[in-house]
Amino acid sequence: MAYVVPSGTIQLMRGIRLDNRYAHTIYFADATAQYNWFTNKVAYTYSNQYYTRHNSNSIKLKVNCDTVADCTYMRFQNRPNGKWYYAFINAVNYINENVTEIIFEIDVMQTWFFQTGHDIKPCFVDREHVNADSFGIYHAPDTPKTDMYTMHELGTSGYFDTYSLVMQFSSEPTDPWDNNSFSGTKTILGTEEKQENAQIFKTFLQQELGGSWDKNQQSANLVDMYAFPMAFSSHNVVDNVKTMTSGHPQKFTYGAVEYTPKNKKLLTSPYCYLVVSDGIGDANTYQWELFNNAASIVMVLRGNPLGGGSITIYPQNYAGLTNNYDAGILMNNFPKRSFSYDAYSAWIAAGGQTKLSDQEKIVKMRGTANALNTVGDMLGTTRDLANAAMAIEAGMAGTAAGFGELAAPFAIGAAAGAGQSMMNTYASYFNRKAEMTEAKNNLVYEFNDAQYAPDIVVGVQSSDLAVSHRILDVHLYNVFPKQDEAIRIDDFFSTYGYSIKEVKQPTITGRKHWNFLKTKGCVIGGDMPSTSRQAICDIIDGGIFFWKDGDELGNFRVEVTNGSINNPIV
């Protein structure tokens, strides 16, 4: 058997924090960069060694156990210019004072993955660090969640600072075509509702309602009266269209403190979004990334001052639509206004006095009729009494003639009928007298009610706090996580990258400190044993950090800016 001259080299290393969990590895652009970095970590070199079997997991060296007890990594080569194998040192065992057993395990990532060109084929990427972190590109659902938000107002429209008093009358309209619709009422628009103009509004009412304020004869002519924003109080529909613009902030504002997210995904929903509110509880949310240009968004306000007034607010160039009407909110509860006038004058003007006079004539006529009826009743009673007297006389004559048993009942009945007739006459008289008294009293009551009635109010007086205090407006808010939550989510993205959820070319470089990659169904190129290939694919499918500097391995806070982790794109 030929003698084989020992020619292998074994190197033990310190200060390397790689382990067989494969949560981390060190990235190298090529085998040369790999060799040079590990060379700087070599503590002991043993040359002219017999062949080291990489699948035996054990070697014995002529060295005291305590000398190499702190070595954590090794590599070996079985002949000059041969392949270098990299391995974790799992245990250092004492054999005797001069012999130590090293238990090792091949590091498949350093032994095969980087030495064969770290060739990962396109596959399903679960998450990774991206090298072009543009706003709104990455929107796959992600792991970090929060329900702790704060808001920063971006501005208001300013179109709700002044109000017009809209008055609609049943008079003939000046122009029946108003705001793209037929109007059968006369509508007065465009005069600001303020203290200095109060007399102007009173004059409008006097002119349109047909008389002085106290002797209003046409109060029913007022159809409606309400306050409506001046900016939308034109008869021309084109003039009632306004816009307001804003832009997506790149910072989160917490009072006097600002925080700039390191990762653009934190600036998109569900972490950051736009709220458009009317200031009194009605609001819509919008995703910044769905605007064509989030740096310059446009909200359109379209108003119609008729029919009580309404305004719709909707986004332009949002979610693929130039005018996204369905994503808008509606304002239509604007406060009503009212006025009052003298009830007695209105009663007189409406024919109340004439009505009273007519009713008095009717009462007098009814009184005359009642008197005649009473006289007729009395004549009837007199006739009945005469008939009764005649019956009595006849009864007395019949008795004398000897047939009193026939005449007596007749005489008694006649007398009773005469008595009943007299009672009915008295009853009718008193009933008619009561009716007359009631009719006269009703006239007096109606007159007093009209004379002393409170003034009549036309319209509905509503005190709208949101309008009177100028709270009602279009408010734009940027909504984002509270500061500690924002830093927590930002740190997660800096550490683990983004959820990608698509088939693509995986990325393992491009960040300053580390790249994280997690795939499904990983496929790699390069020539290596099948078991090593499968092991590498399983490692990447499980997720692994590729560190650019092995000395930083595991130190995620190697660079911190404004309290949060920074792992920038290079």
- Name the domain boundary from 79, 98, 113: 113
Number of structural domains found in the chain:
3
CA distance 105 to 110: 12
Residue 548 lies in a domain: no
Q: Are residues 288 and 164 in the same domain?
A: yes
Residue 482 lies in a domain: no
Q: Is the pLDDT of residue 210 over 80?
A: no
Identify whether the C-beta of residue 125 lies closer than 8 Å to the C-beta of residue 111.
no
Mean pLDDT: which of 41-45, 183-187, 373-377 is highest? Answer: 41-45
pLDDT digits (tens, 9 = 90+) for 501-556: 999 999 999 999 999 999 999 999 999 999 999 999 999 999 999 999 999 999 99
Burial 182-211 (b: 16+ CB within 10 A, else e): ebebbbbbebebeeeeeeebeebbeebbee
Average pLDDT value for residue range 241-257: 96
pLDDT digits (tens, 9 = 90+) for 326-372: 999 999 989 988 765 444 444 444 444 455 555 555 555 555 555 44
Identify whether the C-beta of residue 298 lies closer than 8 Å to the C-beta of residue 276.
no
User: Hey, what are 242's tokens?
Assistant: 């306004």
Let me know how long the chain is.
Answer: 570
pLDDT band, very low/low/confident/very high, at 184 (cuts 50, 70, 90): confident
Q: In 3-state terms, the chain is what percent helix, strand and coil (to 5)?
A: 35, 30, 35
CA distance 52 to 74: 12
Q: How much is the pLDDT for 217?
A: 46
Where is pLDDT greater, at 377 or 203? 203
Residue 547 lies in a domain: no
Q: Scan for tokens 């501005």, then name that residue.
A: 155
Q: 343 φ, ψ to 5°? A: -70, -40
CA distance 271 to 260: 14
Q: Whole-angstrom distance between the N-terminal and C-terminal Cα of the chain?
A: 58
Q: How much is the pLDDT for 353?
A: 47
For 175-180, the CB contacts below 8 A with 24+ separation are 175/235, 178/235, 178/306, 179/235, 179/236, 179/237, 179/240, 179/304, 179/305, 179/306, 180/237
Q: Which of 176-190, 392-406, 459-473, 507-521 has the lowest mean pLDDT?
A: 392-406
Mean pLDDT: which of 222-236, 384-398, 424-438 is highest? Answer: 222-236
Q: Is the pLDDT of residue 130 over 90?
A: yes
pTM, whole model, 2 decimals?
Answer: 0.75
Burial 102-111 (b: 16+ CB within 10 A, else e): bebebbbbbb
Q: Which of 230-239, 278-287, 459-468 has the lowest mean pLDDT?
A: 459-468
pLDDT digits (tens, 9 = 90+) for 421-479: 555 554 555 555 556 566 555 655 554 554 444 444 444 444 478 888 889 999 999 99
Q: Are residues 310 and 369 in the same domain?
A: no
Q: Is the pLDDT of residue 115 over 80?
A: yes
pLDDT band, very low/low/confident/very high, at 173 (cuts 50, 70, 90): confident
Q: Are residues 309 and 165 in the same domain?
A: yes
Q: Is the pLDDT of residue 399 over 70?
A: no
Q: Are residues 402 and 278 in the same domain?
A: no
CA distance 127 to 499: 4
352-401 vs 404-452: helix crossing angle, rounded to 10: 170
Residue 288 lies in a domain: yes
Q: Which residues, including other chains, have CB under 8 Å from residue 380's CB and lie 6 or more apart? A: 421, 425
pLDDT digits (tens, 9 = 90+) for 254-273: 999 999 999 999 999 999 99
Q: How much is the pLDDT for 12?
A: 98
Q: Are residues 59 and 196 in the same domain?
A: no
Signed CA dihedral, 413, 414, 420, 423: sign only: negative
pLDDT band, very low/low/confident/very high, at 291 (cuts 50, 70, 90): very high
Q: How much is the pLDDT for 212?
A: 54
Question: What value does the CA radius of gyration of the chain take, rounded to a whole number of Å?
Answer: 52
CA distance 545 to 3: 45
Q: Over the chain, what is the mean pLDDT?
A: 83
Q: Are residues 307 and 285 in the same domain?
A: yes
pLDDT band, very low/low/confident/very high, at 374 (cuts 50, 70, 90): low
Please tell me whether residue 531 adopts helix, strand or coil conformation. Answer: helix
Q: Which residues, including other chains, have CB under 8 Å from residue 360's CB and lie 6 or more apart? A: 443
> Which range marks the domain in which residue 356 is found?
348-454
The maximal CA–CA distance of the chain, rounded, in angstroms, is 191
Q: Is the pLDDT of residue 81 over 90?
A: no
pLDDT digits (tens, 9 = 90+) for 7-36: 899 999 999 999 999 999 999 999 999 999
Q: Are residues 315 and 390 in the same domain?
A: no
Q: Of 334, 318, 418, 432, nearest to 374 (Cα)?
A: 432
Q: How much is the pLDDT for 387?
A: 53
Q: Are residues 330 and 360 in the same domain?
A: no
Q: In percent, how much of the chain has pLDDT > 90?
A: 61
Distances (CA, A) of 478 to 253, 284, 293, 470: 9, 12, 16, 21
Q: Are residues 26 and 78 in the same domain?
A: yes
Q: Are residues 96 and 39 in the same domain?
A: yes
Q: In percent, how much of the chain has pLDDT > 70?
A: 75
Q: Are residues 170 and 311 in the same domain?
A: yes
Residue 393 lies in a domain: yes
User: Hey, what are 127's tokens?
Assistant: 């998450």
Q: Which residues, including other chains, have CB under 8 Å from residue 396's CB and lie 6 or more apart? A: 411
Q: Is the pLDDT of residue 133 over 90?
A: yes
Residue 400 lies in a domain: yes
Residue 368 lies in a domain: yes
Q: How much is the pLDDT for 454?
A: 45
Q: Are residues 333 and 220 in the same domain?
A: yes
